[in-house]
């Protein structure tokens, strides 16, 4: 039975808005230590107490997944802040360092002649996550 400190292996398929986002299909199962925060909170909470062989669908709300979409996470920056501005297009992910040297990752949402709009929210923020899971092993 899955409990704090268990080493767990699961196969999973993550679906968001009807689209498969990630899956362990055709790969080794995902292995994690239960209770250590290695997987998202809502999935870990709902796997607690499950046994080897359990199969089912686990729905995870944004608050227990990647958080709610935060409007303050959208920022407009000058286009000339990007050395490769001509290669930017909406939907691509960019990374870099802020003014204090901290790494960041963001998604480009809009480009104008002078500015680039970046979304610093996780791409799955505000989304309900649907995991089809199978518990493969617990030790």
CATH of the domain at 48: 3.10.50.40
Write the DSSP string, 82-122.
-TTGGG--TT-EEEEE-TTS-EEEEEEEEE-SSEEEEE-S-
User: Which domain does 38 fall in, by range?
Assistant: 7-67+125-138
pLDDT of residue 48: 97
Does 57 share its domain with 93?
Answer: no
Does 114 share its domain with 46?
Answer: no
pLDDT of residue 78: 94
* Residue 44 within any structural domain of the chain: yes
* Residue 2 within any structural domain of the chain: no
* Residue 1 within any structural domain of the chain: no
Does 81 share its domain with 113?
Answer: yes
Question: Where are the extended beta strands (E) located within 24-92?
Answer: 30-33, 55-60, 74-78
* Residue 63 within any structural domain of the chain: yes
| pLDDT tens-digit readout, 93-133 | 998 887 888 898 999 999 999 999 999 999 999 999 999 99
CATH of the domain at 103: 2.40.10.330
Contact 135, 39 (CB under 8 A): no
| CA separation for the pair 116, 76 (Å, rounded) | 6
Does 79 share its domain with 60?
Answer: no
| pLDDT tens-digit readout, 38-88 | 999 999 999 999 999 999 999 999 999 999 999 999 999 999 888 777 788
Q: What is the pTM of this model?
A: 0.84
Does 23 share its domain with 59?
Answer: yes
| CA separation for the pair 19, 2 (Å, rounded) | 28
């Amino acid at each position: 039975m899955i409990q704090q400190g268990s080493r767990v292996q699961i196969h999973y398929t993550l679906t968001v808005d009807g689209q498969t986002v990630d899956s362990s299909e055709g790969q080794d199962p995902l292995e994690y230590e239960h209770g250590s925060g290695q997987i998202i909170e809502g999935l870990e909470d709902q796997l607690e107490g499950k046994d080897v062989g359990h199969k089912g669908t686990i729905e995870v709300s944004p608050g227990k997944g990647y958080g709610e979409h935060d409007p303050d996470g959208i920022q407009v920056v000058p286009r000339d802040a990007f050395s490769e501005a001509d290669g930017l297009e909406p939907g691509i992910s960019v990374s870099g360092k802020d003014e204090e040297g901290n790494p960041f990752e963001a998604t480009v949402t809009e480009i104008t002649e002078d500015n680039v709009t970046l979304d610093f929210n996780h791409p799955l923020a505000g989304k309900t996550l649907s995991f089809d899971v199978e518990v493969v092993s617990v030790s």
